Structure 1
Amino acid sequence: MEIVRFLDIAATSAAVTATSGRKAKIELLAAALRRLDPGEIVAGAAYLAGELRQRQTGVGWAALRDRPPPAADPTLTVAAVDEAIAELSTVAGTGSQSRRKQLLGALFSAATEPEQTLLTGLFSGELRQGAQAGLLAEAVASAAGVPSTVVRRALLLSGDLKLVAAAALTGGAPALAQIQLRVGTPLSPMLAGSAPDVAAALLATGTPAVVDAKLDGIRIQVHRSGNEVAIFTRSLDDITSRLPEVAEAVRSLPLREAILDGEAMLTDDAGRPRPFQETSSRTATRNTPTTRRTPARPDPATPSAAPAAGPTTGSAATSGVPVVDPVALGGGPAEGSAVAPAAPGAVPAVNPASEPAAPETAPADSPATGSSAPGGLPAPTPAVSGGAASSGLAASGGGIRPFFFDLLHLDGVDLLDEPGRARWAALGGVVPESLIVGRTEVETGEEAAAAFAAALAAGQEGVVIKAPDAPYDVGRRGSAWVKVKPRHTLDLVVLAVERGSGRRKGRLSNLHLGARDPRTGEFVMLGKTFKGLTDELLRWQTERFQQLAVSDDGWVVRVRPEQVVEIAFDGVQTSTRYPGGVALRFARVLRYRDDKPAAEADTIDAVQALNAAHPPPPT
């Protein structure tokens, strides 16, 4: 097999960018994958996916601005580029900045213009060529001659498309079959769809259904093997060192091996949730390293082992993660119904922190640890939310606490393909109720609405309604889980617009949003969003804001504060980034209000009043 030039990857990337058809994109990617030497597959697949194999390189935008002239002739290979970037990623200590600049300059000097373009996109993380993971997974299947369903399953279990590509292209379906759920290797979590209200959610899930409180925390996946515990985020980053309370809670559970799915949330002394930004600041500290787990490709000749959980030395690079101050952090509209008063008898949003700790021995109607139901599953507990086994934990007081809602593996038994009822019963057999998300089973829309109202009254952000017979659909967002949240809206004024990139290149995209200050008549910026914009809206607002432009620095177009836009958002939080001291969470555009003058836009006082429900803790 011939050595693949880096120019060939750059040419494929450019061709994929210029191609609109899904099938044509897949064919281009598959052809490039087939040409890769076995030793180049991991790096080559990463480049085709628009990313680097090395997670952190220390190369920022400033370093990319001063590029040397491109080379006239192509000399770089995929392997040579990977080796150069690997060396860059290990530079540290005294003189590292100078050394990194030297290495980067040498790499770019050897790159032709198309190769420099690709390298810039890879280092910046802004290579938008339309080769999403789904397309590349299809291309891997085509190149390896294996069913795409087998590739997707392996991808969802491993979370690493590069390594799935290497397994498929070197070992085919047998190698992919060796990629199984492993304790210690995070897998892509099941995701929830959205519905505007509980009635619409129940249409998707059917009845009976289970209603879980939707906590305003961070998604965690916790792996335990013996006394080793590893905690991963939704994006599969290892944050074990940041959550010692969670690790200790899981160590105290009466089990040997488990993979638990849930949320970590900061609570006050009464057990009520603190604002999301306080949880995020405790779990996403600038100076605390994060490790992304990248599982090694299993050897097709050996059976799959289950390594102990916990960080593996040298398994991945580390990086500092900034404090989260989300303004528009993604996700489509998740509209909800108006908040109703709490219904009598509705379940609490979280099993209260004031509940007594679980007894040292399981209650008489709970199974002993390790007992099994037919089919190898742990024996069920009587209720959906389950009885609790001993944890030895005090269930009172504040701090970061885990609240689990699913169990994917228990003591050697995989539960992914089991119905929710079985997984949740097993969860209730080994986790005390104080560490399980508030949950109730409903038969009617009225019962679901009562649970929704109770969750909101307890300070949670909504509910997730679940079909109890559905398996755990790794990495998928379908109709088996549907979230419902209340929708807030504000009429704000556009202060500036940023030029788009990728498929939005040539359009004005990211909106700077302002609320009216009734004392001065000026507008106070609250944040930005590019969510909710259809192609039609992008065309319209590009023309509109060019008409209102007062300055243009090539990136940000400042406009006369005249255009009102209706914005939906999930909440308001304190922020030092913006002059009003507040920012919107998950903001997205609903519609433009040509019927409303800027003088009638919502005020900064109204926004700050929304934030008053969760004041910052006293200093």
Structure 2
Amino acid sequence: MQYGELTAVYDRLEATASTLEKTEILAETFADAGDLLPELSLLARGRLFAAWEPDELGVSSSLTVEAIATASGLPDERIEEWWREEGDLGDAAALAVENRVQATLVSDSLDVREVYETLRGLADHEGAGSQDRRVGEIAGLLGDSDPDEARYIVRTTVGAMRLGVGEGTIRDALAAAFLDGEEDAARAVERAYEVTNDFRTVSETAREAGREGLGELEIELFRPIKAMLARKADGLEDALGGTERPVVEYKYDGMRTKIHVREGEVRLFTRRLEDVTAQFPDVVGAVEKEVGSDRAIIEAEVVGYDNGTPIPFQEFSKRIKRKEEITELAERYPVTVHAFDLLYDDGSLLESPLVERLDRLTEVLEPEGTVRRAENVRPDSLEAAKTFYEDALAAGQEGVVVKNPEAPYRPGSRVGYMRKVKPTMERLDLVVVGAKWSEGRKSDWLGRLRLACFDDERGELREVGRLFSGLTDDELREITAKLEPLVESAEGRAVTVRPEVVIEVEYEEIQASETYDSGYALRFPRFSGFREDLGPEDADGFERVRELYDDQHRTEGA
């Protein structure tokens, strides 16, 4: 398949706002994909890796500009000018190729696999000269491309496709292409993706083995799955509902972790499926000594403590990204691993009831080790649940989570049979999509952050407000250090950034608003800290913002 054929598909996707039409376009593409189906299942969203694979290409926007300049023979300044005017580096690349100084004398036609493998390979370059090699390989692709191909090569490189294609669109397209007409076909594909986090595997299985094959896919050790998420309850009584003797456990303010054990080897994965094994040798050592299973996946909250008092996550999270001073950080932030679920024990337990999973978890853990059962009870009254809730707050934890004891585990889903109860207004984890250079003595720092939530249905980010004030000098320095390498375009002092940084935000209320494309705006948002453990698709979603807005107005009207 020529890359130009794929860019024609991209153009069709970009030209329609209809999710149904996008699904039909992709279903047709997948059905005709041949041996390129696995690659196309990722490239449809501009992805090069499965969700659980390391995906850092090591290519900044500035390096991409350098590659465009190399391929076109035009100065960096001209490309950056187009970038500012168009607001899209891919569009700037298309203009550069269209206006290149000298056409390539011998131009090879690009095919999809060549583009896919070349861009994936950028992540493998290490050591001296690696940046030059990356620039050279991107420039090589652009030198053989027409303007439209250049647009999408660059958009794929910088991770900004702007096609409005989310995981749900891929799911529905695969169901339409290979399970057409079958009842609950989309759910069969979704369930397969939940246990693999890899559309390459799901797409090939759907085509070659159909629904039966999808049903046989299961979780595997060292291939992480997404976390099951709780809904916010309107208080403890609401959370308990009509469930008979629910499981009520502490809600810890730590790093949610999947611990994989396979015959003596231990690996740790965060909520965003990142491997953080190297950053937590203390946890690895404790698991090796204290977990009595050779093949297991334990879900836990890793919490840092200072003389028995929980360390706020924003402080403890400094351990997640660090690759140096690991031993010193482990000593400074000693941890307890609060295990609250067992998802695999020599086989998948996802469909087993929670109570069975917890019984087996107790069997594989030592009672008083570093890795221990999360504090929990099964209260037989509202009063008993309230006492436990108060104990959780007194212990410095966030609140409690209430779970249905008979429920299965649904990776990546926000389920109604798991409800969280916290005493304060729910904070939001939001993605930074833009900022503005400050003025006066702070002119070297980026502030005035534009905040967005992820819309699963549309597969895109939607803005919900701007954070204007309340940032300390240290916070502004750190924000600038994180955002400046991600700048995609600039207009005056305002910049648009690649959506990779997630922050926790407090606010006074959520208002209806025509200013932002979400239709909502946060009133007086305040920076609460970075969420190093979350990626943009792990941030709070549009549905959550709408739910909080509705809850707020129900409360006001009560």
Write the mapping of 1:66-105 to structure 2, written as runs, cut at 5 A. Answer: 66=66, 67=68, 68=72, 69-70=96-97, 75-105=109-139
Please, which of 374, 385, 400 is the counterpart of residue 463 of structure 1? 400
- The answer for the alignment partner of 1:46 in structure 2 is 42
Residue 409 of structure 2 corresponds to residue 475 of structure 1: no
Please state how far the C-alpha of 1:534 moved relative to its aligned partner.
12
Contact 1:567/1:588 (<8 A) preserved: no
Please, which of 229, 238, 246 is the counterpart of residue 266 of structure 2? 229
Q: Secondary structure at the match of 2:157?
A: helix
Please, which of 6, 20, 25 is the counterpart of residue 9 of structure 1? 6
From the superposition, tell whether residues 258 and 500 of structure 1 become closer, same or farther in structure 2 (CA, over 3 Å): closer
Residue type at the aligned position of 1:43: E
Contact 1:452/1:462 (<8 A) preserved: yes
Contact 1:50/1:128 (<8 A) preserved: no
Q: Secondary structure at the match of 1:70?
A: helix
Contact 1:267/1:399 (<8 A) preserved: yes
Deviations 1:321-362 (Å, cap 9, x if unpaired)? xx9xxxxxxxxxxxxxxxxxxxxxxxxxxxxxxxxxxxxxxx
Write the mapping of 1:148-547 to structure 2, written as runs, cut at 5 A. Answer: 148-203=186-241, 206-252=243-289, 253-270=291-308, 272-286=309-323, 399-410=334-345, 412-434=346-368, 435-488=372-425, 496=448, 498=450, 510-515=465-470, 537-540=512-515
Residue 65 of structure 2 corresponds to residue 65 of structure 1: yes
Q: Secondary structure at the match of 2:469?
A: strand
From the superposition, tell whether residues 243 and 534 of structure 1 become closer, same or farther in structure 2 (CA, over 3 Å): same
Q: Secondary structure at the match of 1:237?
A: coil
From the superposition, tell whether residues 532 and 131 of structure 1 become closer, same or farther in structure 2 (CA, over 3 Å): farther
Q: Secondary structure at the match of 1:442?
A: coil
Q: Distance in 2 between matches of 1:251 and 1:499?
A: 41
Q: Distance in 2 between matches of 1:288 and 1:162?
A: 37
Q: Distance in 2 between matches of 1:32 and 1:459?
A: 53
How well do the aligned residues superpose, as a CA RMSD in angstroms? 4.1
Contact 2:224/2:258 (<8 A) preserved: yes
From the superposition, tell whether residues 25 and 117 of structure 1 become closer, same or farther in structure 2 (CA, over 3 Å): same
Please state how far the C-alpha of 1:498 moved relative to its aligned partner.
4.4
From the superposition, tell whether residues 534 and 254 of structure 1 become closer, same or farther in structure 2 (CA, over 3 Å): closer
- The answer for the alignment partner of 1:376 in structure 2 is none
From the superposition, tell whether residues 288 and 231 of structure 1 become closer, same or farther in structure 2 (CA, over 3 Å): farther
From the superposition, tell whether residues 509 and 76 of structure 1 become closer, same or farther in structure 2 (CA, over 3 Å): farther
Contact 2:232/2:421 (<8 A) preserved: yes
Contact 2:246/2:379 (<8 A) preserved: yes
Residue type at the aligned position of 2:9: T
Contact 2:195/2:411 (<8 A) preserved: yes
From the superposition, tell whether residues 467 and 8 of structure 1 become closer, same or farther in structure 2 (CA, over 3 Å): same
Q: Distance in 2 between matches of 1:159 and 1:407?
A: 19
From the superposition, tell whether residues 142 and 74 of structure 1 become closer, same or farther in structure 2 (CA, over 3 Å): farther
From the superposition, tell whether residues 99 and 182 of structure 1 become closer, same or farther in structure 2 (CA, over 3 Å): closer
CA radius of gyration, larger in: 1
Residue type at the aligned position of 1:414: S
Contact 1:190/1:476 (<8 A) preserved: yes
From the superposition, tell whether residues 401 and 111 of structure 1 become closer, same or farther in structure 2 (CA, over 3 Å): farther
Please state how far the C-alpha of 1:501 moved relative to its aligned partner.
12
Residue type at the aligned position of 2:336: R
Residue type at the aligned position of 2:258: Q
Please state how far the C-alpha of 1:47 moved relative to its aligned partner.
1.1
Please state how far the C-alpha of 1:74 moved relative to its aligned partner.
9.4
Deviations 1:276-298 (Å, cap 9, x if unpaired)? 12321123215599xxxxxxxxx
Please state how far the C-alpha of 1:475 moved relative to its aligned partner.
2.2
Q: Distance in 2 between matches of 1:166 and 1:193?
A: 33
Deviations 1:253-307 (Å, cap 9, x if unpaired)? 222322111111111233x311112321123215599xxxxxxxxxxxxxxxxxx
Please state how far the C-alpha of 1:466 moved relative to its aligned partner.
0.5
Please state how far the C-alpha of 1:510 moved relative to its aligned partner.
4.7
Contact 1:168/1:176 (<8 A) preserved: yes
Contact 1:416/1:471 (<8 A) preserved: yes
From the superposition, tell whether residues 128 and 268 of structure 1 become closer, same or farther in structure 2 (CA, over 3 Å): same
Q: Distance in 2 between matches of 1:420 and 1:508?
A: 37
Residue type at the aligned position of 1:565: R
From the superposition, tell whether residues 442 and 15 of structure 1 become closer, same or farther in structure 2 (CA, over 3 Å): farther
Please state how far the C-alpha of 1:172 moved relative to its aligned partner.
3.2
- The answer for the alignment partner of 1:121 in structure 2 is 155
Please state how far the C-alpha of 1:7 moved relative to its aligned partner.
2.5
From the superposition, tell whether residues 486 and 500 of structure 1 become closer, same or farther in structure 2 (CA, over 3 Å): closer
Q: Distance in 2 between matches of 1:462 and 1:247?
A: 27
Residue 36 of structure 2 corresponds to residue 21 of structure 1: no
Aligned residues: 439
Contact 2:254/2:301 (<8 A) preserved: yes
Residue type at the aligned position of 1:56: E
Deviations 1:383-403 (Å, cap 9, x if unpaired)? xxxxxxxxxxxxxx9712211
Contact 1:509/1:530 (<8 A) preserved: no
Please state how far the C-alpha of 1:424 moved relative to its aligned partner.
0.8
- The answer for the alignment partner of 1:106 in structure 2 is 140
From the superposition, tell whether residues 94 and 510 of structure 1 become closer, same or farther in structure 2 (CA, over 3 Å): same
Please state how far the C-alpha of 1:178 moved relative to its aligned partner.
4.2
TM-score (norm 1): 0.62
Please state how far the C-alpha of 1:81 moved relative to its aligned partner.
0.5
Greater displacement, 495-504 / 63-72:
495-504
Residue 28 of structure 2 corresponds to residue 31 of structure 1: yes
Q: Distance in 1 between matches of 2:176 and 2:418?
A: 31
From the superposition, tell whether residues 195 and 8 of structure 1 become closer, same or farther in structure 2 (CA, over 3 Å): farther
Contact 2:509/2:522 (<8 A) preserved: no
Greater displacement, 86-95 / 276-285:
86-95
Q: Distance in 2 between matches of 1:531 and 1:398?
A: 25
Deviations 1:507-548 (Å, cap 9, x if unpaired)? 97651232499xxxxxx9998889999998452469xxxxxx
Deviations 1:556-594 (Å, cap 9, x if unpaired)? xxxxxxx9934488xx4599xxxxxxxxx9998989xxx
Residue type at the aligned position of 2:514: R
Q: Distance in 2 between matches of 1:86 and 1:105?
A: 15
- The answer for the alignment partner of 2:88 in structure 1 is none
Q: Which runs of 5+ in 1 are unaligned?
A: 290-322, 324-396, 518-523, 543-562, 576-584, 592-619
Q: What percentage of aligned pairs have identical amino acids? A: 26
Q: Distance in 1 between matches of 2:274 and 2:529?
A: 25
Q: Secondary structure at the match of 1:514?
A: coil
Residue type at the aligned position of 1:232: F
Deviations 1:457-512 (Å, cap 9, x if unpaired)? 1111121110111111222211111112232599xxx9846498998999976512
Which one has the bigger helix percentage?
2
Q: Distance in 2 between matches of 1:532 and 1:538?
A: 15
Contact 2:2/2:109 (<8 A) preserved: yes
Write the mapping of 1:547-562 to structure 2, written as runs, cut at 5 A. Answer: none
